[in-house]
Structure 1
Amino acid sequence: MRYQDQLFEQREHALLAAARQLFAEQPWDRVTIAEVAIAAGIGKGTVYKHFPSKEALYARLVLDLSRENLLELRELHAASPAQDSMRRVIRRAFEQMLSNPIQAQLCLHCDRPEFQERLETPYRQQFLDIEHEYQLFFGDMLNVTLNNQALSQSDCQNLLWGVEACVSGVMARIASGGFTHWAEPIALDDYFARVTDFIIAGLCAQATALLATSNSHE
C-alpha cells in the first residue's frame, strides 16, 4: 500500500474512533464535525475528504458495526448445533445491541427514509448490500431450522418481515434505555428470552403453514 493510502486510512480510523468516543460522552446528534476533527487531531477541512457530511459519518459507523456483527453471527451459526442455531443467533444479536446502545440509536436514525435519501449514492448502495447479506443469512438459518425444507424466496421474505419487526422493537427498547422507568421494571435478559421464544415459535408455526400450503398445491 502506498504511503498516501496508509495515511488516508490512518486518518479515517482516527476520525471514526474519535466519533465513537465523543458519542459515548455526549448526545451523538449534537456532536459537530469540528469536534470530531479536534478529538482526532485532524483539520476540519480534511474530515470532508473522508466523510462529505455528518450523515456519511453516521452511515460509516453503522455500516462498519453491521458488518462486524454479521460476521460474528455467521461464525456463531456455523459453530452451533442445528437445532439451537437460530435461538443462539437471535439472542446474540440482542446482546450486540445492548453492548452499544448509542449504536442502536444510530442504526434507527440511519434506517429512516429521509436520512437515506440525503446520503451519497455509494452509501445508499452499501446499506442495500448489507441488507441483502442479512437476508441471505436469515434464509440459510431458516433452512437449517426447518431441516432443509426449502421455502420459496417470497415466503422467506414474508417471514423476515415478522422477524424484522421484532428486532426493530428490541432495538428501539434498548435505544430508549430499557424498562428502568416502568413501575415494575423488566430485566432485559428476561425480555430477550421471551422475545426470542416468540420469534422462534412464530417462525416455526408460520413456516409449517406455508410449507403445508405449498405442498397442497403440488
Structure 2
Amino acid sequence: MRYQDQLFEQRENAILDAARQLFSTQPWDRVTIAEVAVAAAIGKGTVYKHFPSKEALYARLTMDRSRTDLAELRALHATSAPQQAMRQVILRAFEQMLSNPTQAQLCQHCDRPEFQERLDPASRQQFLELERDYQRFFAEMLNGALGTHALAQGDCQNLLWGVEACVNGVMARIASGGFAHWAEPIALNEYFARVTDFIIAGLRTQAADLLAPPRRHE
C-alpha cells in the first residue's frame, strides 16, 4: 500500500474512532463534524474529504458495526450444535444490541428511507449488499435448524419479515432504555429469552406449514 493510501486510511480510522468515542458520551445526533475533527486532531476540512456529510459518517459506522456483528454471528452458528444454533444466534444478536444502545439508535436512523435517499449511490449499494448478506445467513440458519434445504428463497424471505418485526421491536426497546421506567421492571435477559422462544416457535410452525404437502379436496 502506498504511503499516501496508508495515511488516508489512518486518518479515516481516527475519524471513526473519534466519532464512536463522542457518541458514547453525548447524544450522537448532536455531535458536529467540527467536534469530531477536534477529537481526531485533524482539520474539519479533512473530515469532509473522507465523509462529505454526517449521514455518510453515520452510514459508515453502522455498516462497519453490522458487518462485524454478522461475522461474529456466523462464527457462533458454525461452532454451535445444529439444534441450539438458531437460539444462540438470536440471543447473541440481542446482546450485541444491548452492548451498544447508541448503535441500535444509529441502525434505526440509517434504516429510514429518507436517510438512504440522501446517501450516494455507492453507499446505498453497500447497504443493499449488507441486507442480502443477512438474508443469506438467515436462510442458512433456518434451513439448518429445520434439517432441510427444501424452503424456497421466497419462503425464507416471507419468514424473515416476521423475524425482522421482532428484532426491530427489541432494538427499539433497547434504544429507548429498556424497562427501567415500568411499574414492574422486566429483566432484559428474560425479555430476550421470551422473544427468542416466540421467534423460534413461529418460524417452526410457519415453516412446517410451507413444507406440508397440499391438502386434497374431498
TM-score, normalized by the shorter chain, greater than 0.5 = yes
Separation of aligned partners in 2, 1:90 and 1:36: 34
Dislocated runs of 4+, deviation >6 Å: none
Root mean square deviation of aligned Cα: 1.1
Superposed displacement of residue 217, structure 1: 7.6
**Paired residue secondary structure (1:7):** helix
Query: In the alignment, which residue of structure 2 is the partner of 1:9?
Result: 9
**TM-score, structure 2 normalization:** 0.97
Separation of aligned partners in 1, 2:204 and 2:110: 31
**Paired residue secondary structure (1:59):** helix
Cα deviation, 1:175-208, whole Å, max 9, x if unaligned, reads 0000001000000000000000000000000000
Which one-letter code corresponds to 1:108 in the other structure?
Answer: Q
Query: In the alignment, which residue of structure 2 is the partner of 1:73?
Result: 73
**How many percent of aligned residue pairs carry the same amino acid?**
75
Separation of aligned partners in 2, 1:176 and 1:76: 28
Which one-letter code corresponds to 1:26 in the other structure?
Answer: Q
Matched, 1:140 2:177: no
Superposed displacement of residue 150, structure 1: 1.7
Query: In the alignment, which residue of structure 1 is the partner of 2:198?
Result: 198
Query: In the alignment, which residue of structure 2 is the partner of 1:83?
Result: 83
**Paired residue secondary structure (1:216):** coil
Aligned residues: 216
Separation of aligned partners in 1, 2:49 and 2:149: 49
Which one-letter code corresponds to 2:21 in the other structure?
Answer: Q
Separation of aligned partners in 1, 2:131 and 2:215: 31
Cα deviation, 1:17-72, whole Å, max 9, x if unaligned, reads 00000011111000000000000001000111110110000000000000000000
Query: In the alignment, which residue of structure 1 is the partner of 2:109?
Result: 109
Match of 1:216 among 201, 214, 217: 214
Which one-letter code corresponds to 1:60 in the other structure?
Answer: R
Cα deviation, 1:147-173, whole Å, max 9, x if unaligned, reads 024211111111000000000000000
Query: In the alignment, which residue of structure 2 is the partner of 1:25?
Result: 25
Query: In the alignment, which residue of structure 2 is the partner of 1:40?
Result: 40
Query: In the alignment, which residue of structure 2 is the partner of 1:125?
Result: 125
Superposed displacement of residue 216, structure 1: 2.2
Deviates more, 1:146-155 or 1:7-16: 146-155
**TM-score, structure 1 normalization:** 0.97
Which blocks of at least 5 consecutive residues in structure 1 are unaligned?
none
